[in-house]
Amino acid sequence: MALDSQKIQIHPTAVQVEIKDISLVDAIRKGDQAAFEQLFFEYHPALIRFANSITRSKELSRDTVQDVFLKIWRNRDQWNIHSSLKVYLYQSVRNQALNLLEKQKNRYKLKENLHIDYSTSMNIWEEGFQKKLEVPEEDAKRIMTIWMLVEKMPDRRRLVFELHRKDGLSYKEIAKVLDLSVKTVENHIGQAIKYLREQLGQEKKL
């Protein structure tokens, strides 16, 4: 048991990251295009994924993230960040995704959309994921099972769990992004791992 070596610690890189973010925001505010490009490529894949988990539509999530970056560049002179850059970006993506969803509400039935999207991602998953992850088949199967189970969680719980595991946001950051209390976030993550543990345990027995 490797418990002794596992001490609680603050990530030493956390402070550096903050400083880097501040200078990036500063540069963009001054109209630095290269800094803007750096910001875009650094966060685009993660933000697309996050938007996708909210909208369940590839097109909508691309529009969402585009709009967020366009707005940043358009209003760069007055760009102000009150929390961290990461929180700001995720928050903006969530707000914009909900805006666009609201607009499209009459045209699409969300549930149907969800189903279609889910099955397409599954195909991609099964075809290429083992190669991409570069893990043994056994591990790949386990990861895939978790992924399928996460999809079955209630929306809010799924979002909380993904933001933590995929995006590496802290409880506090998730609370800010999703407009929840930290307590609620804790509860969701607890419930999520409990659910996963139960389901995975059952699989083993079968």
Q: Does 201 bind other proteins (CB under 8 A)?
A: yes
Nearer Cβ to other proteins, position 73 or 91? 73
Cβ atoms 149, 196 nearer than 8 A:
yes
Q: In angstroms, rounded to a whole number, what is the distance separating the alpha carbons of residues 98 and 138?
A: 38
For other proteins, the binding residues in 165-184 under the rule CB under 8 A are 165-167, 170-171
Segment interacting with other proteins, rule: CB under 8 A, options 25-33, 83-91, 92-100, 103-111: 25-33
Q: Does 133 bind other proteins (CB under 8 A)?
A: yes
Q: Does 136 bind other proteins (CB under 8 A)?
A: no
Determine which helix (DSSP H) or strand (DSSP E) holds 70, and give its type and residue range: helix 58-74
Q: Which DSSP string do the residues of 19-69 spell out, in sequence order?
A: HHHHHHHHHHHTT-HHHHHHHHHHHHHHHHHHHHHHH--HHHHHHHHHHHH
Q: Does 48 bind other proteins (CB under 8 A)?
A: yes
Indicate the burial class of 100 (C-beta count within 10 angstroms; 0-12, 13-18, 19 or more): buried
Determine, following the binding rule CB under 8 A, whether residue 18 of this chain makes contact with other proteins.
no
| Residue 152 binding other proteins, by CB under 8 A | no
Residue placing its CB nearer to other proteins in the complex, 3 or 111: 3
Cα–Cα distance for residue pair 51/201, rounded to 1 Å:
31
Is 60 an interacting residue with respect to other proteins (CB under 8 A)? Answer: no
Local structure of residue 136 (DSSP, 8 states): -
* Binding region for other proteins (CB under 8 A): 1, 3, 8-9, 30-35, 37-38, 40-42, 44-46, 48-49, 59, 62, 65-66, 69-70, 73-74, 77, 125, 129, 132-133, 135, 139, 142-143, 146-147, 150, 161-162, 164-167, 170-171, 186-187, 189-194, 196-197, 200-201
